[in-house]
């Protein structure tokens, strides 16, 4: 049993602290957000993530998991300290390291003996060294810094954490490497041991590569639409090549969003720029993605005419992907804004993310819970997130409730032939 502190209990920190507690460690989760900590101590979980609520409750009850705002006490009583605070993008695309630096300052003030400081936040190359320098200015004793980027996916975060594809441990210290390797031993995964900078780069390279796959297949989808080919079959055909792989991120849609891909692509562009490396692929990935987020409007206009004023449009899906309540950089929000700019009347539905979306959309749209009611009198239905609930809907009832049977499917969730049989005017992506 290890004594662990996890600083920042957002998506990554809360999953990390809870899962390490579940694995038998004594874990303190720390955040500066007093309300978040109060709620967690009452068993109220700030995010939706499958299985997380039960695990938090169970481990709080067993005494393995505790939440506080007292970073000093947490640092003093722990041997292993994770940094899991946000690293949001700045206006120029570079990474805002203020939260990481502020945590390093607090650790430097509180540290009272040898500890391993593990950075889990996604940070630019060299940040491990910055953290080391900040702490050493305040503390002259022995400590080590490790880069241990996180690869969990929102929506499957708990199971990703417990069964990771790989674990990256970057450090120059043999002692710290052994401590962190041991900490992860029960996960039964491949551990890649590297230096700090390599570990930091593996995270950016992975996310930027996944984003590249998405923009690549979206460009193929755009060709498919011009020539009358089917992108889902192109993707299927590509994935059977073992060098590409069955799980390749080749699903055409309305672009990537979320808190990671947009930020990390920008972050890697900035890293390349600072190091005088030409990495024009990434500029194209970004360009393609923002164009893709605009691509539904012409499709909607081809069904409803150019003037969308007062048209009743229903949007299914607000979260940037299914099984999460995260709406950060969600394509749905871009589409809704474009429709509101054209004075359309918007009704939205999302199984989980409505409360988060309300913080951004306020009263500019109508919120509905029931799928059939949401399309009552609608001129067009748009699919913006591929929630399973949407795929299994009774299409007969949907058609009956709509004023006009128009569907623009930004996630290719429906079968094209079936939609024709039901009598919908149906447009999707690259098919």
Least Å distance, CB 341 to ligand NAD, is 28
CB-based closest residue to ligand NAD: 10
Q: Which stretch binds ligand NAD (CB under 6 A): 78-86, 211-219, 286-294, 349-357?
A: 78-86
**150 lies in the binding site for ligand NAD (CB under 6 A):** yes
Q: Which of residues 243-262 bind ligand NAD (CB under 6 A)?
A: 259-260
Binder of ligand NAD out of 5, 12, 75, 196 (CB under 6 A): 12
Q: What are phi and psi of 192, to 5 degrees?
A: -100, 115
Q: Is 260 a catalytic residue?
A: yes
Query: Of residues 19, 224, 260, 380, which has the active-site annotation?
Result: 260
Number of residues forming the site for ligand NAD (CB under 6 A): 26
Shorter beta-carbon distance to ligand NAD: residue 320 or 387 = 320
Stretch in the footprint of ligand NAD (CB under 6 A) among 72-80, 149-157, 224-232, 249-257: 149-157
Say how far apart CA 70 and CA 63 lie, in whole Å.
17
Handedness of CA 55, 58, 61, 65 (dihedral sign): negative
Judged by CB under 6 A, does residue 202 bind ligand NAD?
Answer: no
The residue behind tokens 């190359």 is: 125
Angular region, 330: left φ>0, alpha ψ -120 to 50, beta rest: beta
Would you state the structure tokens that stand for residue 255, as one six-digit string?
A: 């672009």
Report the b/e string of 211-242 with b at 16+ CB within 10 A: bbbbbbbbbbbbebbeeeebbbebbeebeeee
Maximum Cα interatomic distance, the chain, rounded to a whole number of Å: 74
Q: Contact with ligand NAD (CB under 6 A): which of 122, 219, 270, 356?
A: 122
Residues 258 to 297: which contact ligand NAD by CB under 6 A? 259-260
The answer to whether residue 235 forms part of the interface with ligand NAD (CB under 6 A) is no
Out of 22, 49, 144, 154, name the contact with ligand NAD by CB under 6 A: 154
Taking the complex as a whole, how short is the minimal distance between the CB of residue 113 and ligand NAD, in angstroms? 21
Name the segment binding ligand NAD (CB under 6 A); options: 80-88, 244-252, 305-313, 405-413: 80-88
Task: In whole angstroms, give the CA distance from residue 313 to residue 294.
Answer: 16
Judged by CB under 6 A, the residue of 4, 27, 30, 419 near ligand NAD is 30
Residue nearer to ligand NAD on the CB measure, 83 or 371: 83
Report in angstroms how near the CB of residue 17 gets to ligand NAD at its nearest: 11
Burial (CB < 10 A; 0-12, 13-18, 19+), residue 63, is exposed
Pick the stretch among 4-12, 56-64, 350-358, 400-408 that binds ligand NAD (CB under 6 A).
Answer: 4-12
Return the beta strands (E) in 283-414 as ranges.
312-316, 345-349, 366-367, 380-383, 406-409
Rounded to 5 degrees, φ, ψ at 334 are -65, -45
Terminal-to-terminal C-alpha distance of the chain? 53
Least Å distance, CB 43 to ligand NAD, is 17
Residue with tokens 């299985």, as numbered in its chain: 51
- Tell which one of 4, 7, 179, 402 touches ligand NAD (CB under 6 A): 7
CB of 126 to ligand NAD, least distance (A): 15
- Give the C-alpha separation, 245 to 184, whole Å: 27
Contact between 128 and ligand NAD (CB under 6 A)? no
* Site pattern 87..106 for ligand NAD (x: CB under 6 A): x-----------x--xx---
**Sheet of 116-119: strands edge to edge?**
65-68, 26-30, 3-7, 80-83, 116-119, 144-147, 166-170, 190-194
Candidate segments 9-17, 161-169, 208-216, 379-387, binder of ligand NAD by CB under 6 A: 9-17
Q: Check binding of 160 to ligand NAD (CB under 6 A).
A: no
C-beta closer to ligand NAD: residue 34 or 275: 34
What is the token pair recorded at 308?
A: 């969308």
> Do residues 375 and 406 lie in contact, with contact meaning Cβ atoms separated by under 8 Å?
no
Residue among 260, 297, 299 nearest 88 (CA): 260
CB of 207 to ligand NAD, least distance (A): 8
C-alpha dist (Å) from residue 263 to 87, 271, 351: 9, 12, 26
Catalytic positions, written as ranges: 260
Binding region for ligand NAD (CB under 6 A): 7-13, 30-33, 36, 84-87, 99, 102-103, 121-122, 150, 152, 154, 259-260
């Amino acid at each position: 049993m290890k004594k662990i502190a996890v600083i920042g209990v957002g998506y990554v920190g809360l999953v990390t602290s809870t899962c390490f507690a579940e694995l038998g460690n004594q874990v303190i989760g720390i955040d500066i957000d007093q309300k978040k900590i109060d709620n967690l101590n009452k068993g109220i979980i700030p995010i939706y993530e499958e299985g997380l609520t039960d695990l938090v409750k169970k481990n709080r009850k067993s005494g393995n998991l505790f939440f506080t705002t007292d970073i000093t006490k947490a640092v003093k009583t722990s041997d292993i300290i994770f940094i899991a605070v946000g690293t949001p993008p700045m206006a120029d695309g570079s990474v805002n390291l203020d939260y990481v630096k502020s945590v390093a300052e607090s650790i430097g003030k509180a540290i009272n003996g040898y500890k391993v400081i593990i950075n889990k936040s996604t940070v630019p190359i060299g940040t491990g060294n910055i953290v080391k320098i900040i702490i050493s200015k305040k503390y002259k004793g022995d400590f080590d810094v490790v880069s241990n980027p996180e690869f969990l996916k929102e929506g499957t975060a708990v199971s990703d954490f417990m069964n990771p594809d790989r674990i990256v441990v970057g450090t120059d210290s043999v002692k710290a490497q052994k401590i962190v390797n041991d900490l992860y031993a029960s996960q039964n995964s491949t551990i890649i041991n590297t230096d700090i900078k390599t570990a930091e780069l593996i995270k950016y390279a992975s996310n930027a590569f996944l984003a590249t796959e998405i923009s690549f297949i979206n460009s193929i989808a755009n060709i498919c639409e011009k020539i009358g080919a089917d992108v889902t079959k192109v993707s299927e055909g590509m994935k059977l090549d073992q060098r590409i792989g069955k799980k390749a991120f080749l699903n055409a849609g309305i672009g990537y969003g979320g808190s990671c891909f947009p930020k990390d692509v920008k972050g890697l562009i900035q890293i390349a720029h600072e190091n005088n490396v030409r990495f024009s692929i990434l500029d194209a990935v970004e360009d393609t993605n923002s164009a893709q987020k605009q691509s539904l409007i012409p499709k909607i206009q081809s069904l409803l005419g150019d003037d969308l004023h007062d048209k009743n449009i229903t949007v299914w899906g607000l979260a940037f992907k299914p099984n999460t309540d995260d709406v950060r950089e969600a394509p749905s929000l871009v589409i809704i804004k474009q429709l509101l700019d054209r004075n359309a009347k918007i009704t939205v539905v999302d199984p989980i993310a409505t409360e988060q979306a309300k913080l951004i959309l306020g009263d500019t749209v109508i919120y509905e819970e029931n799928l059939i009611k949401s399309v009552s009198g609608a001129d067009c239905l748009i699919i913006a997130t591929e929630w399973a609930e949407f795929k299994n809907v009774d299409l007969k009832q949907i058609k009956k409730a709509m004023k006009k049977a128009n569907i623009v499917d930004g996630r290719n969730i429906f079968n094209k032939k079936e939609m024709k049989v039901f009598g919908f005017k149906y447009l999707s992506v690259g098919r």
